[in-house]
Copies of this chain bind each other. A is one copy, B any other.
């Protein structure tokens, strides 16, 4: 963005989830205008900016939407950035680019891009037949993770495989026409994550390395900063920057790692957008991942990713039932007076659906963890 005598810019967000919601909250704070486009009404983005509901694969809908926007972004790697690029025809930047999203959406191509950039990854094999997958399972020592090439998220579309019968089941469920991805099971001691924000010319900032804990393949807890060796942290931050460059990411990139027994790391997966492991940055960092997402896609100077507090813990709030959202437990949750409560405004709960989160900042990760767990557990959405 040039620093002209111009009006404050408008960001058009494709998507109606919590990532768009939190990006909008950060951007509006800075005077930046927000439009969102989603295929169905969304309680998460309805109260923010101008929320458009329409068929985003329809070029006429997209054409009308991008009018007045200074940049288009996505809050999901599945949003149709390519439609925005087509109708914009170069008039309005679309970040991240659809070419970046296409690489990352496909687990095989994503892994290839990471490996080609010289970043350490675990052994993997794109398997176009069941026979290949069975061979891979053997090569990987009898324990592997089978993944859909496209469409997996939050534990959907993955299966841990330790026998041929497991593999048969996984193949039936997960294989597409081109097969599926087999990854060697990594005997990690910890999962780590790093966020990167990157501008169109490549200027980047990298956030602290955090520890993440999954339950049922879903992010449950994030502890910042990670209690790891300095050289492990340096390697993860460097690999995250390399990955952002390798996929030509503009915006923010979530990078997940496995830490091995010896302190070395393997890159696990990329997410070309604000990421659950970066929610703690709202309270804990000078500029949150959402603020830096807005800054980077507008090609504005990036804010500091450093933490303003010694430590922070984030715990997700998942849905406990199906149906309209109720306020059960709000009073109890708010009684944890240092907890920052985030509720995403979704109209419908589903079991295990991400409904909100809690972040607490302070100095002792164990103390913070206990308090954040209690506050998050109190909310029964």
Which A residues have a C-beta under 8 Å from some C-beta of B? 1, 3-9, 25, 28-31, 33-34, 47-50, 283, 286-287, 295, 300-304, 306, 308-309, 324-332, 334-335, 337-345, 356, 361-362
The answer, among B8, B287, B332, for a CB contact under 8 Å with A3, is: B332
The answer, among B1, B29, B330, for a CB contact under 8 Å with A331, is: B1
Contact between B303 and A334 (Cβ–Cβ < 8 Å)?
A: yes
Chain B residues within an 8 Å CB radius of A1: 330-331
Contact between B343 and A31 (Cβ–Cβ < 8 Å)?
A: yes
Instruction: Tell me the nearest residue of chain B to A334, going by C-beta.
Output: B301
Contact between B309 and A30 (Cβ–Cβ < 8 Å)?
A: no
Question: How many copies of the shown chain assemble into the complex?
Answer: 2
Pick 14 A–B contacts, CB within 8 A, sort by A: A5-B327, A6-B326, A7-B324, A7-B326, A8-B327, A25-B28, A28-B47, A28-B48, A29-B341, A47-B48, A286-B361, A287-B340, A300-B331, A308-B309
Chain B residues within an 8 Å CB radius of A283: 308
Write the nearest CB–CB distance from A147 to chain B, whole angstroms: 33
Chain B residues within an 8 Å CB radius of A325: 7-8, 31
Contact between A303 and B337 (Cβ–Cβ < 8 Å)?
A: yes
Write the nearest CB–CB distance from A292 to chain B, whole angstroms: 10
A59 to B5, CA, bound (A): 42
Contact A29-B25, Cβ < 8 Å, known A3-B330, A331-B3: yes
Contact between A344 and B31 (Cβ–Cβ < 8 Å)?
A: yes
A1 to B3, CA, bound (A): 47
Write the nearest CB–CB distance from A291 to chain B, whole angstroms: 9
Chain B residues within an 8 Å CB radius of A34: 47
Instruction: Tell me the nearest residue of chain B to A342, going by C-beta.
Output: B29
Write the nearest CB–CB distance from A289 to chain B, whole angstroms: 15
Chain B residues within an 8 Å CB radius of A303: 334, 337-339
A328 to B3, CA, bound (A): 6
Instruction: Tell me the nearest residue of chain B to A205, going by C-beta.
Output: B337
